[in-house]
């Protein structure tokens, strides 16, 4: 009968969990190399520090018994095909939950695997909302999505005197699902925020020459530029904007400026760029101080912006395990869905589609540092606006 039960589990794709597990296995697939490697490193740090903190406190209570967390982390090399195969490897090892990596395309591939294997999936560092509209039951993301970012832009711009706000915007649109989705959100947000999109130029990710879309933005005299490039693409864009003599008053790049390599590579040219990483180490929430101290000890600087949401994923999972009272994946899924708690990213709940209800933050590179500029009540620096020409920095 036991053999038959195991066979049934294998057929439906769940995979057996150890009858007497000695630890709570968390299976993470994270890009540590490739185009997303710098972002993946932030995700990894958040996971590792959270696991270290929880284990140092005695582990997680499961049905009255304390159990340690065990993080099993594999590198997908920023390749969605490898994301899928690595997740299947982890499923065969009996992980209780999946933790995601970095980049909307990798998460989109991972969500289908989690659904097939009926393993709860917690992922940050992706704003793609489309994947949450496919009826997935096991996908959860404590991270803001494209519509949230679009709406928050209005709040950010409201900190600028009405007469000085950007009136015209150029969208450098990546030819991806997320590129299209975020462009639509920015166009919609303009109606309330008071700006008009005057250029919507597409480019292929990984391109080496962005001069065509940059020159269109310059010709239109766009006050602001919005884009969501990968880190390599974003750094190339800034270099080419400088070469072509184009300095918009405001530049918002999602994703590209998240890692520290942005400032190391670009120096002062990387300043004044806004980013929307979902968190900042100055956010006022329980546990942020301890996370920062551990990050400084481990890596030599306060917690990077994606480390916070990644840390929160482990906090959410730990609380869900305790509420569920077991490692049964269905009970865990239901407990995660019912989450209502305060993490290092602040108060957090999930909508029925698995998207997180989280606070909004915008960060800006100023003098080689990432400063929290919005919301104003928790800002570490005022918004740097308008950006000075590259030659005068």
Distance CA 227, CA 27 (A): 32
One domain for residues 174 and 45: no
One domain for residues 116 and 177: no
- Whether the predicted pLDDT of 19 surpasses 50: no
One domain for residues 67 and 7: yes
CATH number at residue 136: 3.40.50.2300
One domain for residues 161 and 135: no
Number of domains in the chain: 2
- Whether the predicted pLDDT of 211 surpasses 70: yes
Positive or negative: CA dihedral 164, 170, 174, 180: positive
Its domain, for residue 60, covers: 2-144+282-357
**DSSP labels, 316-327:** HHHHHHHHHTS-
Q: If pLDDT is split at 50, 70 and 90, which confidence band does 227 have? A: very high
User: pLDDT by residue (tens digit) across 126-163?
Assistant: 999 999 999 999 999 999 999 999 999 999 999 999 99
One domain for residues 90 and 154: no
One domain for residues 379 and 344: no
Distance CA 43, CA 98 (A): 13
One domain for residues 50 and 164: no
- Half-sphere exposure (CA, 13 Å, Cβ side) for 117? 28
One domain for residues 303 and 325: yes
Q: What are phi and psi of 152, to 5 degrees?
A: -70, -25
One domain for residues 268 and 298: no
Cβ atoms 82, 90 nearer than 8 A: no
One domain for residues 177 and 307: no
One domain for residues 11 and 137: yes
Q: If pLDDT is split at 50, 70 and 90, which confidence band does 6 have? A: very low
- Whether the predicted pLDDT of 168 surpasses 90: yes
pTM, to two decimals:
0.90
One domain for residues 124 and 12: yes
């Amino acid at each position: 009968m036991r053999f038959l039960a195991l066979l049934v589990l294998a057929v439906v794709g769940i995979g057996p969990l150890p009858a007497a597990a000695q630890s709570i296995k968390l299976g993470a697939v994270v890009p540590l190399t490739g185009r997303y490697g710098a972002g993946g490193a932030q995700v990894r740090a958040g996971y590792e520090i959270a696991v270290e903190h929880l284990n140092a406190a005695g582990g997680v209570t499961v049905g009255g018994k304390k159990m340690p967390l065990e993080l099993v982390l594999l590198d997908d090399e920023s390749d969605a095909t490898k994301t899928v195969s690595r997740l299947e490897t982890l499923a065969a090892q009996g992980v209780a939950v999946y933790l995601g990596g970095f980049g909307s395309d990798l998460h989109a591939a991972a969500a289908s695997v989690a659904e097939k294997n009926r393993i709860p999936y917690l992922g940050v560092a992706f704003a793609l909302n489309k994947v949450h509209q496919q009826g997935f039951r096991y996908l959860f993301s404590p991270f803001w999505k494209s519509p949230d970012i679009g709406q928050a832009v209005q709040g950010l711009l409201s900190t600028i005197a009405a007469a000085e706000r950007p009136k015209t915007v150029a969208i450098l649109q990546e030819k991806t699902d997320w590129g299209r989705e975020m462009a639509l959100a920015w166009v919609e947000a303009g109606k309330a925020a008071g700006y008009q999109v005057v250029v919507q130029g597409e480019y292929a990710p990984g391109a080496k020459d962005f001069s065509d879309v940059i020159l269109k933005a310059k010709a239109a005299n766009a006050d602001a530029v919005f884009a969501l490039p990968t880190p390599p693409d974003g750094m190339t864009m800034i270099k080419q904007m400088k070469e072509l003599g184009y300095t918009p008053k405001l530049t918002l790049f999602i994703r590209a400026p998240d890692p520290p390599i942005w400032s190391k590579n670009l120096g002062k040219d990387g300043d004044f760029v806004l980013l929307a990483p979902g968190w900042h180490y100055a956010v006022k929430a329980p546990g942020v101080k301890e996370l920062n101290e551990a990050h400084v000890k481990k890596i030599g600087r306060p917690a990077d912006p994606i480390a916070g949401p990644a840390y929160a994923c482990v906090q959410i999972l730990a609380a869900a395990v305790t509420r569920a009272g077991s490692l049964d994946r269905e009970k865990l899924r239901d407990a995660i869905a019912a989450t209502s708690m305060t993490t290092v990213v602040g108060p957090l709940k999930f909508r029925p589609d698995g998207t997180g209800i989280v606070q909004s933050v915008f960060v800006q590179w100023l003098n080689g540092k990432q400063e929290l500029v919005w919301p104003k009540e928790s800002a570490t620096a005022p918004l740097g606006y308008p950006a000075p020409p590259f030659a005068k920095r």
